[in-house]
Chains A and B, each alone.
Chain A
Amino acid sequence: MNSQEKEEYLREYEVLKKKGKPFFPYAVAKDSIMFLVVVLVIAAMSIILGAEQGPKADPTTTTYTPRPEWYFFFVFELLRVIKPAELTPLATIGIPTICLVLLLLLPFYDRNAERDPRKRPVATSMGIMVIIAMALLTFLGAEAGPPTEITMEAAPQYEDGKVAVAGQGCLTCHKIGENGGTLGPELTHIGAELPAAGIRRTLLNPSGIMPPYTELPPEKLDAMVEYLASLR
């Protein structure tokens, strides 16, 4: 925007402003109605949706799945989309920071003097694309199963074992299929690497920081071993 365009804009704005109505009472009336709508909507949400208290924070549980507030779902989903561990900082800090800087500096790189969205095809389509991307990421983040869910299909005879593995919180440290932590070795193909007896031995007498699963009922342990051995 050069100085001639700036002057032109200010002159035109002055004319349009003179044609307008005073802020009080016209704009004030609209804002007041909006105020009532905002307060009533929040009050209705509070009454209908309530504010239930979850279970008390317990740092010793390992099976709890953290879920962010809905407006952080897009970061959550970015983390899931960008898989490799070495790229995680890119998803968590890199992309959000770049987006934020781009947003902050928008008026400084968009030098187009035109303001009508129909005459700014690049800006308008970029804006719409960003909205769609954010909406999609938020939606996918909301739809995504909790990270303790094992997304891989299991044959019917291993279903019990799959539920037991998920319920024991193995995914906190181990990755099975799409989900799981990276603290321990990945278990997606553990059946090809260890025989069933070896898996049982590890569960009962693990090495390192993994807790032993000696307290489990035998049939549950059997189901878990069978399921893990089936992962190839």
Chain B
Amino acid sequence: MAKFPDTLLPKALRKPAKPGENGNSNGASANGEEKSVVVEKLKEAPVDLVGWVDERTGATPFLTGMLLRKVPKGTNWFYTLGSATMFAFVVQALTGVFLAMYYTPSPVEAYASITNLTNDVFMGEFVRGLHKWGASVMIILIFLHMGRVFFFGAYKYPRELNWVIGVVLIVLTLVMGLTGYLLPFDQRSYWATIVAMNINGTGPIVGPYLADFLRAGAEFESTTLSRFYALHMLLVPGAIIAMIGAHLYLVVKLGTTAPPWLRADTKPKALRTEKVKSQNGGGS
């Protein structure tokens, strides 16, 4: 059976040395020895638990493969933009859950429920602010991440499919921005949504149908708000989570790219020394 490697665990959770291995097993009284056996057993419990789960899931190869995989030399801060985007999404998801607890998706009550949330609920305005500004931060980060991938040529073989998934994620993020804009149901959101729907309606062939679908009818109606609400908190986030899963799976499977200016000599003779040119010397 594959064992979960000790090096991954914090010191406190590591299997303590067996009594006798350190040569201090004798000398303790009978009572004390009994006690230490219990303590030893307790100390081993977390390790045993990890082993128990591992025996039933076989997660160890996956976890070690993911955590201990090598990240190429020269990986710098630009490579954190993707995970930063994901963290912004996590902030949006968590704050969104709290907002949904107080929000009423009906045209009559939506505005009042937000007034209540903003003015009366403990930390309500702060959480709403997190969600509102988190959206902008996520948009900025996702475009910066795309810029990094573009200029580093990281969309090329064998990572073409991950680029496509990433573009889908950008579109889904923009759809989140569009559908979320209506929910506060103030003048700004109402009129911007009317305009967005009209723009949608000008599209060729599918345009009018898409606009009708989003509006839940030919005109802006009471059901429009609940439709946007359902899209904003069920359909689109679900799709985003699934796409992030696929994106990360491919990142782990294919590995993150090395900075494009780093070259490795792969000629058979040089392979033994595996000499990597210096960071700046890669060009010319």
Chain A: residues with CB nearer than 8 A to chain B?
A: 1, 5-6, 8-13, 15-24, 26-28, 30-31, 33-35, 37-39, 41-43, 45-47, 49-51, 53-59, 61, 64-72, 75, 79, 88-89, 92-93, 100, 103-104, 106-108, 110, 112-120, 123-124, 127, 131
Q: List 16 A-B contacts (CB under 8 A).
A: A8-B266, A17-B255, A19-B73, A21-B71, A23-B69, A34-B83, A42-B137, A45-B133, A49-B129, A51-B125, A57-B189, A66-B188, A93-B202, A107-B160, A110-B156, A116-B153
CA distance A63 to B135 in the complex (A): 28
CA distance A42 to B276 in the complex (A): 40
* Interface contact B188-A100, CB-CB below 8 Å: no
The yes or no answer to B80 lying at the interface (CB within 8 A) is yes
CA distance A116 to B74 in the complex (A): 14
Q: How many whole Å from B182's CB to the nearest CB in chain A? A: 9
Given A53-B114, A104-B164: A42 and B156 interface contact (C-beta under 8 Å): no
Interfacial chain B residues near A49, Cβ < 8 Å:
129, 133
Mostly helix, strand, loop or mixed at chain A's interface? helix
* Interface contact B72-A68, CB-CB below 8 Å: no
Given A22-B68, A23-B68: A108 and B87 interface contact (C-beta under 8 Å): no
- B80: contacting residue among A31, A41, A61, CB under 8 A: A31
Mostly helix, strand, loop or mixed at chain B's interface? helix
Interfacial chain A residues near B203, Cβ < 8 Å:
89, 92-93
* Interface contact A71-B174, CB-CB below 8 Å: yes
* Interface contact B276-A16, CB-CB below 8 Å: yes
* Interface contact B190-A51, CB-CB below 8 Å: no
Stretch binding the partner chain, chosen from B11-19, B34-42, B193-201: B193-201
Interfacial chain B residues near A22, Cβ < 8 Å:
67-71
Which residues of chain B from 153 to 207 have a CB within 8 Å of any chain A CB?
A: 153-160, 163-164, 167-168, 171, 174, 177-178, 181, 184-192, 194-196, 199, 202-204, 207
The yes or no answer to B106 lying at the interface (CB within 8 A) is no
- A35: contacting residue among B71, B83, B168, CB under 8 A: B83
The yes or no answer to B126 lying at the interface (CB within 8 A) is yes
* Interface contact A51-B128, CB-CB below 8 Å: yes
Q: Count how many chain B residues have C-beta atoms less than 8 Å from C-beta atoms of the other chain.
A: 92
* Interface contact A24-B158, CB-CB below 8 Å: no
* Interface contact A131-B147, CB-CB below 8 Å: yes
CA distance A108 to B164 in the complex (A): 10
* Interface contact B129-A46, CB-CB below 8 Å: yes
The yes or no answer to B214 lying at the interface (CB within 8 A) is no
CA distance A30 to B87 in the complex (A): 13
* Interface contact B118-A16, CB-CB below 8 Å: no
Interfacial chain A residues near B156, Cβ < 8 Å:
1, 107, 110, 112-113, 115
Given contact pairs A18-B70, A66-B194, A107-B164, enumerate 12 new A-B contacts (beta carbons under 8 Å): A13-B257, A17-B70, A19-B264, A21-B70, A23-B70, A31-B80, A35-B87, A45-B133, A53-B186, A59-B220, A115-B154, A117-B260
A89 to B, closest residue via Cβ: B202
CA distance A19 to B259 in the complex (A): 13
The yes or no answer to B77 lying at the interface (CB within 8 A) is yes
* Interface contact A66-B71, CB-CB below 8 Å: no
Interfacial chain B residues near A88, Cβ < 8 Å:
202
B270 to A, closest residue via Cβ: A15
- A116: contacting residue among B66, B276, B282, CB under 8 A: B282
CA distance A156 to B115 in the complex (A): 43
* Interface contact A55-B186, CB-CB below 8 Å: yes
- B204: contacting residue among A5, A89, A110, A117, CB under 8 A: A89
What 1/0 flags go to B269-284 for Cβ under 8 Å of A?
0010010100000110
Given A45-B129, A51-B132, A93-B204: A64 and B87 interface contact (C-beta under 8 Å): no
* Interface contact B118-A116, CB-CB below 8 Å: no
- A57: contacting residue among B73, B171, B187, B271, CB under 8 A: B187
Q: How many whole Å from B183's CB to the nearest CB in chain A? A: 11
Interfacial chain A residues near B163, Cβ < 8 Å:
106-107
CA distance A75 to B262 in the complex (A): 38
CA distance A123 to B260 in the complex (A): 14
* Interface contact A57-B186, CB-CB below 8 Å: yes
The yes or no answer to B8 lying at the interface (CB within 8 A) is yes
CA distance A43 to B255 in the complex (A): 32
